A and B are shown apart, each in its own frame.
Chain A
Amino acid sequence: MPLPSGIYNVTYKKDMAIFRTWDHWVWLTAFAMFLAILPAFASRSTLSIFTTIACTIIAVHGLNLLTGFCGQISMGHSAFVAVGAFTSAALCNELDFSFWVALPLSGFAAGLIGLLFGAPSLRVKGFYLAITTIGAQFIIIYVIMHLPSITGGVRSIDVPPPNLFGYLIETDHSYYYLALFMAAIITYFVKNITRTGVGRAFVAIRDNDLAAEGMGIGLFYYKMMAFFFGCFLAGISGSLYAHYLQTINVEYFTLMDSIWYLGMLIVGGMGHMLGAIFGTIFIVVLRELILKVAPLVSKALPGLGVEFGAAMGLFILGLVIMLFLVYEPRGLAHRWEIIKTKLRLYPFPY
């Protein structure tokens, strides 16, 4: 990370610190305080959006590790989220597990299934791997639909809310804090993975797998690890979201959702920690804005009907992704770095 003028890494500890300056800590504290007091003045719908963002960020972090850092494209991420959601539901409903036990186990289940579908990654890459992972999307959903004794099949199943020492975390306010806490922990976890040898191996594989192998990086081992971590986080996200919704159905985990996860990563910036966060916030907020603005458009132009406003929403969403691909392929995270550097050097030109 580029440092402000006059700040040097004089110790290893300082070199490894995520937050290097007082400014960083001040901003972080202010942001954390804002998030902490938000439920005091925000409406339930706003809190619901924040909770959705927090749960989605975890899944997109997983996809970022897999696709952004390691270069292994996955078009079936939503199915791994489904594995986490249904595992958690089954563990809590059938075996009376606590949410706190079911949560990591859901991640492990999704991670193990991810290993299964990641195995072909040694042989295939690029478009071919994308097709393989699309296969995962369909196979996993098919299995869930046809295992009614465990998953409920096509029927929606109830998921109990988390219980913390007798206190049920079931309201928008309480779940907001849980989702936020989990998103923060996972972000920290992913940030640290990317800074270790494992993270550097992922990047090496992404940039040139033959060169990476030549340097002694075990391709299969690290690719499998990327699939495991990526799907583990998808599972955690699925479990967290399932307990928030308190009801799940296979129809909530579609190929379109998998594509949206990729869309979030493209908009945010692949291979950048902030990319997953920015992309998720941007797309979720945009979708919510469209949800609220579309009826106003329809009201202003009544002759065109409600469909016009609704279709406009989809048009805008598609256009945004296209514009990002054309004008800012490195995503919002890159744009953010440019803005920060410009501000740091102000009034001198960057």
Chain B
Amino acid sequence: MRDFKLKNITLAFVFSLLVIMPLLIGPTVKAEPDPIRIGHLGEWTGPAGRTCGPPGDALIAYFHEYVNKEKGGIEYCDPKTGKVLGKVKVEVLYADCRYELPLFKSAFRNFVDKGVIACHSTSSPALEGLKKDFKRDKVPCFQTSSNTVAHWPPEWIYGHRPSFADDMGLYVDWILENWKEERPPRIALMYYDGPLGKSMLWGGPQYAKSKGCEIVADEPIPGMPVSTTSQLLRVKQAKADYIAATLLGSQMALVLKDMKRMGLHIPILEATGTDATELRKLAGEAAEGAYFTFPSYDLGDESRPAIKWVNEHYRKYMKGRAGYDVINEPIPDGVWYVGWLIANIMEETIRLALEKVPPEKLTGKKLRDFGINRMKDYTCNGLQKGVTYLPGVDHRGSDYNIIHQVKNLKDSQVTDWRKAPRLLPPWMTKK
């Protein structure tokens, strides 16, 4: 009987302890939330691997090294009080889709199955081919390219710079500002005979004509040209004052070399996001004097804190990586830079969304509603003039760009940030 009592008392004591202990310990430390997942529809091999690989490297380095390791993650808040509760890490899922739509589609499906809240791509097949998928699955996709078809009508694709057609408009405004002669300026068009090159034509020449410029030559360049002499001869015969070009790097190099060989000194205005490093690497001395638009200050000007910030991280994270020689080439290529830039914009949209939504409840739609749609005049640590998304109206992110020139085979900034005209493609203006 006594044993029975003792047993009961012991059991009651243990039971009471079990009930009271959690109350005595106080609130438990909340485990770190699961990482937020984003997807990179990448290309390291395939025809666009050289251009599309570095942005992917930059994006992965930005989130895995800079955000997760250096910063410890992105802060998230209590939506009601705004009090910071902790940090959440970001995992980048990626795939090498080799410019093949079936692989992009499959990779995107896989990302969605794994719960990504946003995607990124530099590739036209991904951006154009998956446009409806982004919309259907409510996953915003950021682009480092400036694909006009992807941008208009504005749905679930977001950019960071004006389109190639807008860039032509920007050049036209700049030409007219500096034009001294009585006659109108004569502009020749040279573009890659493919989607990327022709995107300049969706609004660019029309804008030039509306401003009084003459379009005196229209010269498509095939994908893999052997020579561009015949096209350049026609440009010369047309007495063009400027050549507006949207060419791939290899095509641009050939045009520049042919121009040098022919002794043709017409200013060439490139608008496909190339930069001085790429032009110098591809065309050598022939690159001298070429103009290009690039959404950044001179990447070699480390007196600017923002540029220094990018370059230091480039050297830190890319050191020893295959394909990167940061000792001899301490300044990143333009394509790597834009990957870092878009990653910074993506981080900011996630941070904004986490002010309103807890990380475990963050979805693509909520990222759009509480992050992307709230982004206004974001300067990317001083890298940009200001990124703003106008929901359903304009998802390019920025109207501003900078005109640069290759001088002494180095980047030389010709203008400061200039506002490009917003040129809508024909399918947006047709009733």
Contact = CB atoms under 8 A, between A and B. Distances in A.
B376 to A, nearest CB: 30
A156 B95 CA distance: 23
B106 interface: yes
Interface residues of A, number: 41
A48 B132 CA distance: 15
B93 A295 contact: yes
A338 B110 CA distance: 36
A287 to B, nearest CB: 7
B60 A252 contact: no
B110 A292 contact: yes
A106 to B, nearest CB: 18
Given A306-B42, A306-B56, A314-B45, A153 B106 contact: no
Given A52-B102, A287-B103, A303-B321, A313 B96 contact: yes
Contact of B101 (A245, A288, A307): A245
B128 A249 contact: yes
B56 A156 contact: no
Interface string B198-209: 100000000000
Contacts of A44: 109, 112-113
B129 A310 contact: no
A76 to B, nearest CB: 16
A310 B45 contact: yes
A167 B113 CA distance: 25
A252 B129 contact: yes
A310 B96 CA distance: 6
A126 interface: no
Interface in B105-151: 105-107, 109-110, 112-113, 124-125, 128-129, 131-132, 149
Nearest to A156: B128
B194 interface: yes
Interface string B76-109: 0000000000000000011111111111011101
A335 interface: no
B323 A288 contact: no
Nearest to A307: B44
A307 B322 contact: yes
B45 A251 contact: no
Interface in A102-132: none
Interface in B274-292: none
A294 B95 contact: yes
A310 B60 CA distance: 15
B193 interface: yes
B45 A156 contact: no
Contacts of A306: 42, 44, 53, 56-57, 60, 94, 96
A129 to B, nearest CB: 24
A245 B128 contact: no
From B60, B97, B128, B194, residue with most partner A Cβ within 10 Å: B128
Interface in A212-261: 245-247, 249-252, 256-257
B105 A251 contact: no
Among all A-B residue pairs, the 10 with the closest Cβ atoms: A45-B109, A310-B96, A310-B44, A156-B128, A45-B110, A305-B322, A154-B195, A48-B109, A43-B113, A307-B44
Interface of B: 42, 44-45, 49, 53, 56-57, 60, 93-103, 105-107, 109-110, 112-113, 124-125, 128-129, 131-132, 149, 193-195, 198, 320-324, 427
Given A154-B193, A291-B96, 12 more contacts: A145-B193, A153-B198, A154-B194, A249-B124, A251-B194, A291-B95, A294-B95, A295-B95, A307-B44, A309-B96, A310-B96, A313-B45
23 contacts: A44-B112, A45-B113, A47-B109, A48-B109, A49-B106, A245-B129, A247-B132, A251-B194, A288-B103, A288-B106, A291-B103, A294-B95, A294-B96, A303-B320, A303-B321, A304-B322, A306-B56, A306-B94, A307-B322, A307-B323, A308-B322, A311-B44, A311-B45
Interface of A: 43-45, 47-49, 52, 145, 153-156, 158, 172, 245-247, 249-252, 256-257, 284, 287-288, 291-292, 294-295, 303-311, 313-314
